[in-house]
Amino acid sequence: MAKKNDIFSQIQSFRLSGFILTNLGYFLFLGFLAILYIGNAHLAERNVRNIQELQRDIREMRWSFMSLQSENMYNSLRSEVVDRVKDDGLRLHRGKPIKIVVRDEK
């Protein structure tokens, strides 16, 4: 019985190796497709990480823009401008504007 199992296993291994050799191109093609699939998955994950990083940067820049815009609006109030230029000796004129006319001396 041991010889029959040995002969049977040799025949089966020969058939298996023959099957592999006849279909070697197909197995190589499947391996190539597997490598492409794995590479594509890595590329997609890297793109997702880049998109998330850019979205975080956009969110931070938007917050910065909003805070600067708010600060600019506060600093452009008339009362703030008057308080800032008071130290320079300027004051708010409450009367009518005066028209200055320059005549040419020809």
Q: What is the pLDDT of residues 94-104, one digit of tens each?
A: 888 888 999 88
Q: What is the pTM of this model?
A: 0.55
Q: Is residue 95 part of a domain?
A: no
Q: Is residue 34 part of a domain?
A: yes
Q: Is residue 15 part of a domain?
A: no
Q: Is residue 7 part of a domain?
A: no
For residue 97, the SS3 value is coil
pLDDT digits (tens, 9 = 90+) for 13-66: 666 677 777 888 899 999 999 999 999 999 999 999 999 999 999 999 999 999
For residue 30, the SS3 value is helix
Helix axes 78-85, 24-75, angle to 10 degrees: 70
φ, ψ dihedrals at 88, nearest 5°: -85, 0
Q: Determine the structural domain holding residue 33 and report its residue range.
A: 25-85
Which residues are within 8 A (CB) of 82 and not within 5 positions of it... i.e. 6 or more apart? 91, 92
Q: Is residue 74 part of a domain?
A: yes
Number of compact structural domains in the chain: 1
| Whether the predicted pLDDT of 74 surpasses 70 | yes
Q: What is the pLDDT of residue 95?
A: 84
Q: Is residue 2 part of a domain?
A: no
Q: Is residue 46 part of a domain?
A: yes
Beta-carbon neighbour count of residue 81 at 10 Å? 13
Please give the structure tokens belonging to residue 68.
């600067």
Q: What is the pLDDT of residue 64?
A: 97
Could you tell me the pLDDT band of residue 1, with boundaries at 50, 70 and 90?
A: very low
